[in-house]
Every structure is written in C-alpha cells, then in structure tokens.
Amino acid sequence: GPLSERRLMDVRLGELPAWLATCNFSPQGLLGGAQKAWNSYYDKYINVKRGGPAGISMLLAGYCLLSYGWNYQHISK
C-alpha cells in the first residue's frame, strides 16, 4: 500500500525518512496517534475474551519503572 498508510514496523529502514515526512506532527495529529496507540494496546491486552491480568500488570509495571526513573535523583540521596 501507500507509504503513508503503513505502520512503523512495516516500513523499511531506507523508507523511514520519507515515511516520517508523511506523518502529521501537529498537536491534533499527535493526540490522534496517542489515541490510536492506546486503543490498539487496550484491544490487544485488556479487552480480550480470555484475557488475564497481563495487560493491566504490564501497564502498572511500566508506570512503576517510569516513576522510579523520574525520582531516581531524589531516592539515591
């Protein structure tokens, strides 16, 4: 398909600059991309018929690591 409709994982390394040039980096475009990523994550890990606690625990683990990284300077002293 067209380069602008491909996902990042489907783009070859040589096509990456052209693919980035087709992306929408306006605030509305970035917000739409974040919403699309969240919906994809939610559908894959949380909103499944036979899902377990894996999706929510992965989200919480990511939050813990991010919080630790932000507070590392304060914690290490």
Q: Which single residue is written with the structure tokens 């602008």?
A: 4
User: Which tens digit of pLDDT belongs to each residue from 1-53?
Assistant: 788 888 888 889 999 999 888 888 899 989 998 998 899 888 888 876 665 67
Kindly state the tokens that stand for 67.
């919080």
Please tell me the pTM assigned to this model: 0.52
Query: HSE-up of 62 (CA within 13 Å, CB side)?
Result: 6
Neighbouring residues of 46: CB distance < 8 A, sequence distance ≥ 6: 55, 56
Give the whole-angstrom CA distance, residue 37 versus residue 57. Answer: 18
